[in-house]
Amino acid sequence: MADIVTMPKLGFDMVEGTLVRWVIAEGEKVAKGTVLAEIETDKATVEVETNYNGIVHKHLVSQGSVVPVGQPIAVIAAPGEQVDLGQLSLEGGIKPAVSPKQTAQLNQHVTAEEILPDQGFLPGGVKTSPVARRMADERGVDLKGIHGSGPGGRIVKKDIESYLTHPSVPQPVLAPLGVEPQTESTDLVLPLNRLRAVIGRRMTQSKQQVPHFYVTHEYDVGRMLELRSQFNNLLLENERISVNDFIVKGVAQTLRQFPNLNASLVDDKIRQHGQVNIGVAVTVEGGLLTVVCREADRKPLRQIAMEIRSMTERARHGKVRPEDVEGSTFTVSNLGMFDVENFAAIINPPETAILAVGTAREVAVVVNGEVKPGLRMKTTISVDHRVSDGAEAAHFLQALSVYIHEPLRLIL
Amino acid sequence: MREAISQALWEEMERDERVFILGEEVGLWGGTYAVTKGFYDHFGAERIRDTPISEAAIVGAAIGAALTGLRPVAELMTINFAFSAMDHIVNEAAKLHYMFGGQFVLPMVIRTVSGGGRQLGATHSQTPDAVFAHFPGLKVVSPGTPEDAKGLLKACIRSDDPILFIEHATLYQARGEVPEGDYTIPIGVSKIQRSGKDVTLVTYSKMLELSMKAAEKLAVDGIEVEIVDLRTLRPLDMGPVVESFKRTNRAVIVEEGWRSHGVGAEVAARLYEEAFDYADSPIKRVAQKEVPLPYNRALEQLALPQVEDIVQAVKEVM
């Protein structure tokens, strides 16, 4: 009884993944939970584990292939088992002809017919209404390049019509850039890596479609820094709590009072999330990832610090797990370590807001008419104006100051 | 509409002496809905026959008469009582022509009244039209305008097939132009009652009236609704429906009966079968809530489809 391993769907918007490396070679044994391969998705490189025991009968795709979600990538069989692969020969060339449902799990002999039905495939899992699909076929329009305005992002007739009227709608750059004719010979031309391309696509989409506004607030962080150093004196080197951990915790607790900023705009509805999952932007080689501290409002500071540290480690070593990067409801981006006074971040869709945190600096402050040294830190929140307004954002920043000015509240 | 139906019966009885009417209270009383008022005095007891309160007897007698060459028009006080005659309707009327290898024809019409909205309670207010449209061999006609009622009823009386002609309890007062003189309207032909380019609204009978009102309201919002009146449920003429859907790419089906296994289900399925590649949004149905129709006026209206329900459904497919 052969089992088929398919390209897993590791995020709600993942449509394909790159098979970076086969960890287990053909003919080698695997058990449930063995890491079979490494896959690079839009967001991270992840390890794919098998759910089967047996030997790797065949790799169906070669390293470096881009494979649609749900497409078979390997066959696992019992030792010595004869598997009828039929005409199943995908190596080297991926035929975009399989829907996830059809390839779920085949219990019997694998044949080409079972795996490769030619009917009903939509390129890249694009969702369209039937009439939109027909019109696109007739007019040779590539549905991948069209934004769907129907429910759940469905491409409807109107979208095709407007595309045909204004075909020049700018599209985010997805593919590596080629050499421009006017390039000077001394220029170094680098292809975009996948992560860079994805960041580009998502950020372009966010800036084009999400109306951002920004509110900045300055905090007195004297007590917070003092408390932090008290804590860290008690902790081991690898347990230490960062300024950012304090902010993550404070933001999470404050968001409980501002469900609108812990929300997503879905079609014409605002979905206020039941969980407060704080994304933390992490610099990695070739780009940026957001690791997610789930239910940060309910976790002790020390646990938050530990989780973020280990997820950051994994992200920087390219070993991030799907759950590390999925499901954030609000993001914190901190450039404090780079001596940055203040900056504004781009919202990470489908979230409603992102908080950009600057460096805690010693500055001259006026207290009761006297100039004194003080520790100040600026943060700027970027908010989706479709969901919220300036006053709410300002209230949020004020409410956050309750925790930052009296950080013991984060411990209570 | 009452007068249009009455005229059709009167004219057909004048035209063809084989045509006669039988049913409860159709004679001396003039019909429960006063459709045959004055008929008894003019045509006499031979051709306007009051019957016992037995629907099975009425339909059974009509079948017998039709088999022997007469052209009976049987009246059942309401469609709810047709269930008492179900065996005669679906096992005899609908099948005799087939089972005798075409040796017989059954030129008979069963006129009856469907629909709720008059506070007659759960057992007297049903709209089970789809039940009857289920059986091959039985034609089911249900007009929504006086003009169609007259033309279709005359066509039914002249047809050699058994036909259930369903009138609506709250349409007798409906007013509309009726052409002068003798005319018929072919059975099994749907009609576009209002033109529009945005949504195809498929309906019939009383719901045509509500759909027209909904279309007026939607026009204010700039939504142009095209209304296709089925007029006949069997044979179902999908031609104008499909043709309209191919232009609008959206459809809402409005029926007074329950949604499950109903007219809307049939029309939607056929649209998906015949015009899938033209759909731009999922087809929606407006129908009666799945409960026995309440007696209470407010609850009854809540259970029946309303103009606002149709407006809402159309907006949802836009």
Q: For A80-84, A128-132, B192-196, B305-309, which range has the lowest pLDDT when averaged over its residues?
A: A80-84
Question: Does residue B109 share a domain with residue B244?
Answer: no
Q: For A126-130, A290-294, B93-97, B111-115, which range has the lowest pLDDT when averaged over its residues?
A: A126-130
pLDDT digits (tens, 9 = 90+) for A367-386: 899 999 999 999 999 999 99
Which residues in chain B are closer than 8 Å to A151, comparing Cβ atoms?
A: 281
The per-residue pLDDT for A340 is 95
Task: Please say whether the beta carbons of A38 and A314 come within 8 A.
Answer: no
Q: How far is CA A193 from the centre of its chain?
A: 16
Structural domain contains residue B173? no
The full set of domains in chain A, from first to last, is 3-115 (2.40.50.100), 126-168 (4.10.320.10), 198-410 (3.30.559.10)
Give dist(CA B51, CA B14) in Å, integer.
Answer: 22
Which residues in chain A are closer than 8 Å to B281, comparing Cβ atoms?
A: 129, 150-151, 156
The per-residue pLDDT for A125 is 65
Task: Please say whether the beta carbons of B198 and B227 come within 8 A.
Answer: no
Q: What is the DSSP string of B195-207?
A: --SSEEEEE-THH
Q: Mean of the pLDDT values across residues B86-91?
A: 97
Give dist(CA A222, CA A363) in Å, integer.
Answer: 11
Task: Please say whether the beta carbons of A359 and A379 come within 8 A.
Answer: no
Asked whether this complex has an ipTM greater than 0.85, the answer is no
Provide residues of B within 8 Å CB-CB of chain A.
Answer: 249, 276-281
What's the sign of the alpha-carbon dihedral A150, A153, A156, A159? positive
Q: Which residues neighbour A254 within 8 Å (Cβ) at sequence distance 6 or greater?
A: A396, A399, A400, A402, A403
pLDDT digits (tens, 9 = 90+) for B136-170: 999 999 999 999 999 999 999 999 999 999 999 99
The beta strands (E) that lie in A160-211 are given as none
Active site residue B124: yes
Q: Tell me how many degrees the CA angle A28-A32-A33 measures, rounded to the nearest 5.
A: 95
Structural domain contains residue B86? yes
Question: Does residue B139 share a domain with residue B51?
Answer: yes
Check A109, A217, A385, A395 and give the catalytic one: A385
The per-residue pLDDT for A182 is 58
| Contact: B280, A134; criterion CB under 8 Å | no
In terms of pLDDT, which residue wins out, B153 or A324? B153
Looking up tokens 């070739």 gives A286
Give dist(CA B185, CA B154) in Å, integer.
Answer: 8
| Contact: B277, A150; criterion CB under 8 Å | no
Question: Does residue B161 share a domain with residue B251?
Answer: no
Which residues in chain B are closer than 8 Å to A150, comparing Cβ atoms?
A: 280-281
pLDDT at A11 over 70: no
Give dist(CA B277, CA A135) in Å, integer.
Answer: 9
Question: Does residue B196 share a domain with residue B150?
Answer: no
Structural domain contains residue B41? yes
Q: Among B293, B307, B280, B123, which Cα is nearest to B203's?
A: B307
* Residue to substitute from B248, B280, B315, B317, interface A, most A β-carbons within 10 A: B280
Domain endpoint, select from B137, B168, B199: B168
A117 in reach of chain B (CB within 8 A): no
**Using the 8-state DSSP alphabet, how is residue A157 labeled?**
H
Question: Does residue B204 share a domain with residue B99?
Answer: no
| Contact: A130, B280; criterion CB under 8 Å | yes
Question: Does residue B208 share a domain with residue B161?
Answer: no
Question: Does residue B96 share a domain with residue B12?
Answer: yes
Share of chain B above pLDDT 90, in %: 100
| Contact: A133, B277; criterion CB under 8 Å | yes
pLDDT digits (tens, 9 = 90+) for A249-280: 999 999 999 999 999 998 889 999 999 999 99
Residue B40 maps to which CATH number? 3.40.50.970
Question: Does residue B306 share a domain with residue B217?
Answer: yes
Structural domain contains residue B183? no
Give dist(CA B61, CA B23) in Å, integer.
Answer: 10
Structural domain contains residue B186? no
Structural domain contains residue B180? no
Q: Among A249, A315, A312, which Cα is nearest to A278's?
A: A249
pLDDT digits (tens, 9 = 90+) for A184-208: 678 888 878 878 888 888 899 899 9
Q: Tell me how many degrees the CA angle A38-A41-A44 measures, rounded to the nearest 5.
A: 80
Which residues in chain B are closer than 8 Å to A156, comparing Cβ atoms?
A: 280-281
| Contact: A150, B281; criterion CB under 8 Å | yes
The 10 Å CB-count burial string (b at 16+, else e) for A90-112 is: beeebeebbbeebbeebeeebee
Question: Does residue B205 share a domain with residue B138?
Answer: no
> From the CB of residue A232, how many other CB atoms can be counted at a distance below 10 Å?
14
Q: Indicate the helix (H) or strand (E) that contains A74.
A: strand A72-77
pLDDT at B174 over 70: yes
Average pLDDT of chain A, as a whole number:
82
Structural domain contains residue B178? no
pTM exceeding 0.90 = no
Which residues in chain A are closer than 8 Å to B278, comparing Cβ atoms?
A: 130-131, 134
A335 in reach of chain B (CB within 8 A): no
Residue B279 maps to which CATH number? 3.40.50.920
Report phi then psi at A103, rounded to 5.
Answer: -110, 10
The per-residue pLDDT for A16 is 81
The per-residue pLDDT for A118 is 34
Q: Which residues neighbour B227 within 8 Å (Cβ) at sequence distance 6 or greater?
A: B192, B193, B194, B196, B201, B202, B203, B208, B211, B212, B215
The per-residue pLDDT for B256 is 98
Check B12, B124, B226, B255 and give the catalytic one: B124
Question: Does residue B163 share a domain with residue B226?
Answer: no
Question: Does residue B198 share a domain with residue B127?
Answer: no
Check B55, B226, B255, B300 and give the catalytic one: B55
The per-residue pLDDT for A104 is 36
Q: Mean of the pLDDT values across residues B282-310?
A: 97
Domain endpoint, select from B168, B202, B232: B168
CA distances for A297 relative to A143, A262, B205, angstroms: 41, 12, 59
The per-residue pLDDT for A326 is 86
Counting the structural domains of chain B, the total is 2
Q: For A81-85, A132-136, A145-149, which range has the lowest pLDDT when averaged over its residues?
A: A81-85
Report phi then psi at A68, rounded to 5.
Answer: -65, 150
Give dist(CA A6, CA A27) in Å, integer.
Answer: 18
What's the sign of the alpha-carbon dihedral A88, A92, A96, A99? positive
Q: Tell me how many degrees the CA angle A310-A197-A273 measures, rounded to the nearest 5.
A: 55
A 122-141 residues with CB < 8 A to B = 129-134
Instruction: Tell me which residue range forms the domain holding B113.
Output: 2-168
Q: Among B299, B19, B51, B33, which Cα is nearest to B166's?
A: B33
pLDDT at A293 over 80: yes
Q: For A155-169, B37-51, B156-170, which range has the lowest pLDDT when averaged over its residues?
A: A155-169
In this prediction, residue A121 has a pLDDT band, given cuts at 50, 70 and 90, of: very low
Residue type at A82? Q
Structural domain contains residue B149? yes
Domain endpoint, select from B104, B133, B168: B168
Question: Does residue B235 share a domain with residue B147?
Answer: no
Q: What is the DSSP string of B23-76?
A: ETTSSSS--TTSTTTTHHHHH-TTTEEE--S-HHHHHHHHHHHHHTT-EEEEEE
